[in-house]
Amino acid sequence: MNRLKTSPLALTLLAALAALVFSIVITSIVLSISGFNPPSTFQAMVDYGTQPDSLVNIINKGTMYFLAAIAVAIGFRMNLFNIGVDGQYRMAAMLAAALGGAFALPPGLHQIVILLAAMAVGAAWAGIVGVLKVTRGVSEVISSIMLNFIATGIIAYLIQTDRLGYQPEGSDSIGTHPIAESGWIPGIPFPGAREGAEVYGLIVLAVIVGIAFHVVINRTRFGFDLRATGLSASAAVASGVNARRMVVTTMLISGATAGLIGMPELLGTAHSYSLQFPTGLGFLGIGIALLGRNHPVGITFAALLWAFLDESSQILDFNDIPKEIVAITQAAVLLSVVVVYEIVHRLGMRWQQQAVAAELAAGATKKAEVAS
């Protein structure tokens, strides 16, 4: 019965691989034109990217990319384009950091309060988008992009020393009050890595989120409604799905997940939301969700690939190669993968239709032969 599947797993993997090869070819061409030697460049990237220290960074970045992509994928599965994940996670990280830094709680409780606060802020910020969509018909793409800018403005306003901001003595960096040690989450040591380079403890949370995403989407009534809405909004409504409630609920869940994106770094190493806090993860998440086909396993690989490219590009500057070359690789992967997936999907559908027709025709002939 496997050949009747619309997009066989092997074909999907092949497609992803083809996209990767294509992007390497494109990158090689660009490198050659610019006068660099592609094989040695890639060699340098691989050598550097597989150092234990680099691997720790890749896993850590990958963890946050993964959470960002899952937050985006939740919306994508019902054709809801939450472009506002970026604003949602920054608002969540900033306010949760401020809350966590404001007072100390017993260990355990402290982290839970911060995590819940982050999820609540992310959900609230995304909820605005959902409510605007169902009450005023505002496209979620437009409103969520605008809310990203508003988030930037609000964060800049709040993070001043006379408000939530705090400037350590003798430092010109400004951030929220540091979270007391009772609110930290210790890292996991990595074999061979230098002292202090540890994998974020919250990688466990990312794994849980990934599993929960898969189970909820595929095994629950809610997930069925969500997927049905994504596949055919009109059929879902006719089947009894309340489209408005679905939009709001999905935005809330997507936003709550977005709220977790900054947590591994906040609770693991940064301990405060400062101007050095990573930005733009929400936008990376969109590409990674596409590359991973909105599937947790696919997203895991996509997130790690992205993190690898980002991390290993660090070495390029030492070799006088602009590390922006990696952006070309990433763009080529993304562009080709979108095209290739669509082709695979259509071919899969057509093959299946033909297989079904052939099987039925064979059955009919057999019946006719028996009859005669």
Partner 1 sequence: MSTTTRATERAEQAAPAFELRGITKRFPGVVANRDIDLTVRAGTVHAIVGENGAGKSTLMKTLYGMHKPDEGTIRINGEQVTLNSPSDAIARGVGMVHQHFMLADNLTVLENVVLGAEKLYGIGGRARKKIVELARKFGMRLDPDRLVEDLGVGDRQRVEILKVLYRGAKIIILDEPTAVLVPQEVEELFGNLRELKREGLTVLFISHKLDEVLSISDTITVIRRGTTVQDGIDPAAVNARELAQLMVGSELPVPELRESTVTDRAVLEIRNLTVRDATGRPVVDDVTLTIHAGEILGIAGVEGNGQAELVEAIMGMRAPDSGTVALDGADITGWETRRRRERGVGFIPEDRHRHGLLLESSLWENRVLGHQTRKPNVKGPWIDRAGARRDTERIVRDYDVRTPGIDVSAAALSGGNQQKLIVGREMSGEPKFLIAAHPTRGVDVGAQAAIWDHLRDARAEGLAVLLISADLDELIGMSDTLRVILRGRIVGEADPATVTPEELGSAMTGAQGAADRDREEGR
Minimum distance from residue 352 beta carbon to partner 1 (Å) = 5
Q: Nearer Cβ to partner 1, position 230 or 285?
A: 230
Given the complex with partner 1, which of 238 and 371 has the nearer CB atom?
Answer: 238
Q: Quick one: 4 or 109, whose CB is closer to partner 1? A: 4
Taking the least distance from each CB to partner 1, the nearer of 112 and 215 is 215
Contacts to partner 1 by CB under 8 A: 1, 4-6, 219-225, 227-228, 231-232, 234-242, 349, 352-361, 363
Q: Which helix (H) or strand (E) holds 10?
A: helix 9-33
CB of 342 to partner 1, least distance (A): 13
Give the CA-trace dihedral at 88, 94, 96, 101, to 10 degrees: 180
Nearer of residues 22 and 224 to partner 1, judged by Cβ: 224
Shortest Å distance, C-beta 239 to partner 1: 4
**Rounded to the nearest whole angstrom, what is the least distance from the CB of residue 73 to partner 1 in the complex?**
17
- Comparing CB distances to partner 1, the nearer of 201 and 223 is 223
Give the nearest distance from C-beta 248 to partner 1 in angstroms: 15
Give yes or no for a contact between 45 and 313, defined as CB atoms under 8 angstroms apart.
Answer: yes
- Considering the complex, what minimum distance in angstroms separates the CB of residue 175 from partner 1? 41
Query: Which residue, chain included where needed, has tokens 């969540």?
Result: 92
Q: Smallest gap, in angstroms, from Cβ of residue 36 to partner 1? A: 43
Query: Both tokens of residue 199?
Result: 């994998």
Cβ atoms within 10 Å of 139's Cβ, excluding its own: 12
SS3 of 287-354 = HHHHHCCCCHHHHHHHHHHHHHHHHHCHHHHHCCCCCCHHHHHHHHHHHHHHHHHHHHHHHHHHHHHH
Q: In terms of CB distance, is 104 or 364 closer to partner 1?
A: 364
Residue from 27, 48, 39, 38 nearest 312 by CA: 48
Beta carbons within 8 Å of 41's beta carbon, 6+ residues apart: 31, 316, 319, 321, 325
Amino acid at 216: V
Closest to 268 in 3D by CA, of 310, 314, 205? 205
